[in-house]
Structure 1
């Protein structure tokens, strides 16, 4: 374990980057609202280059062994498939949803993670954790229901978009459980030594990029893009991203906002992994959780390129409070009695 001041500093960095990541996720989709699929591909292939570069450096330094690189790739392939579909679904929904709805809907990740871990990892949970999961579910339902009446945050938003965002969380939760299974199985194969984090990230991202390419017909269809139109779409996305050409779409904010999101997203993922290494997954989870209400509040304010802001209804705020209560309850330290059943 690292010292308390070091953990506190790392935790503060995670909170700041988590908030920035959520806010920039919405802002990056403002100039690229018509091209969320392009942004998804840009981040996907960008991560492959960055993660494999880091992996190579760690291998040269002896931090990654050949046995780690030789681990079976079937789970990595499944991780890549789930993440490819999850990113595409999330980007599509994020472009159409009000900013404050994105972080609260994405918290359904915990519910899916619990469900998948029960079936895939045969894990059991305490009554406290199940109650926390129920509160998270209730918070999401309350928040989404707040859009049923005119004037609320999801008023005028088609049901498909919040459903697609929740589905994106399910896909990414499945990928996270498979990553955990890689560490568990890898420790057995490596005689107690857990695989390096960047082995999992690199191969998972590599397969994600591969499946993005193989699933182009399906992924483009999700965005209403015919395969024959894909080349023109990507060219339009590139022009909008670079903010060049004579596009009929206002691409103001590009390429600064999308690039800033990609950089901050990578920094957030690395800082979160660093905090897990310094302390524990519990500390990292609680730290990331604290960014949810801050993100929702910031995204409700008038921001550059989103000057209109968003009105937070009373039911949406109540849903957010219920959701946050569930997350905190789920992540509370276990008692000795609970640890025997988990």
Structure 2
């Protein structure tokens, strides 16, 4: 359900790119985004339990999650604006992705640090116990010390996760630089059915494989169709006027 509700991110990106960047979208692009959203919902919902979704959750919290997606969408649109505005100021040369990413990551780390007392209290960890909690987490990450039964694969798996996460984020940011934030998000959405497929395989540390349902395959196909529809080539306006 988190993945399904997070697809409101695409809707926010469409709205904010129109408001901030003044971009206009063709009908096939809007319909392609809707197909991508439908595909993700079908792919994810195919593995859900038979019970009703969010049966024990008030509608307020899903609404908060969908509204908070606007912040993430706004950040991606602002990064796209930085690349466009930087190209104008640098005479056609766009800003380096590592510079843009470093500023974004730096401010993200700063605000996480400032909100750490509030977040720890929200998780039921008193502020006085926070240093000990961080020390236990570091010991688990490095796989040192005793009583680490839940730290299987450390430190190799955490380091692999960090490396893959960095490579993924750099690739997405480079795609934003070359195209648009919406194209990058649509491309990243393709990772949803791919990750579900990979996790269905009997992998090391994840030995329980599973069979994928027909609705998952249909959802993945609709998602890819939406991506293709969004990226349909269009005739050049100048060429049309010349003809």
Task: State the TM bucket, normalised to the shorter chain.
Answer: 0.7 to 0.9
Is the counterpart of residue 228 in structure 1 residue 131 in structure 2?
Answer: no
- Residue in structure 2 matched with residue 296 of structure 1 by the alignment: 196
Tell whether the 8 Å contact from 1:116 to 1:177 is kept in structure 2 after alignment.
yes
Q: How far, CA to CA, are the matches of 1:274 and 1:300 in structure 2?
A: 30
> 1:156 Cα shift?
11
**1:149 paired residue among 26, 50, 58:** 50
Q: Distance in 2 between matches of 1:222 and 1:309?
A: 35
Is the aligned partner of 1:256 residue 2:156?
yes
Q: 1:197 aligns with which of 97, 110, 117?
A: 97
> Given that residues 139 and 322 in structure 1 are in contact (C-alpha distance below 8 angstroms), is that contact kept between their aligned partners in structure 2?
yes
How many residues of Structure 1 are paired with residues of Structure 2 in the alignment? 233
Partner residue, 1:329? 229
1:103-125 Cα shifts (integer Å, max 9, x gaps): x8766543332232123323221
Cα displacement (A) at 1:287: 6.8
2:217 to 313, 317, 324: 317
Q: Is the CA contact 2:79–2:100 (under 8 Å) kept in the aligned structure 1?
A: yes
Q: Deviations over 1:80-107 (max 9, x none)?
A: xxxxxxxxxxxxxxxxx9xxx86x8766
Query: Hey, what does 1:81 align to over in structure 2?
Result: none
Q: 1:70-85 counterparts in 2 under 5 A?
A: none
CA deviations 1:45-100 (Å, max 9, x no partner) are: xxxxxxxxxxxxxxxxxxxxxxxxxxxxxxxxxxxxxxxxxxxxxxxxxxxx9xxx
Kindly state the Cα deviation for residue 292 of structure 1 after the two structures are TM-superposed.
Answer: 4.9
- Aligned equivalent of 2:80: 180
What RMSD, in angstroms, separates the aligned Cα atoms of the two structures?
A: 4.0
Query: What is the distance in 1 between the residues matched to 2:58 and 2:41?
Result: 13
Relative to structure 1, the CA distance from residue 305 to residue 186 in structure 2 (aligned partners, 3 Å threshold; closer, same or farther) is same
Please, which runs of 5 or more residues in structure 2 have no aligned partner?
none
Which residue number in structure 1 is paired with residue 179 of structure 2?
A: 281
Distance 1:272 1:220, change over 3 A: same
Secondary structure at the counterpart of residue 128 of structure 2: helix
Q: Matched residues in 2 for 1:105 and 1:300: separation?
A: 22
Q: Give the one of 5, 8, 13 matched to 1:113.
A: 13
For residues 130-180 of structure 1, give each alpha carbon's deviation from its aligned partner in whole angstroms, at most 9, with x where no partner exists.
Answer: 001111222233345442515x9x9999899x9598777654332211101
Q: 1:296 to 1:107 in 2, by over 3 A?
A: farther
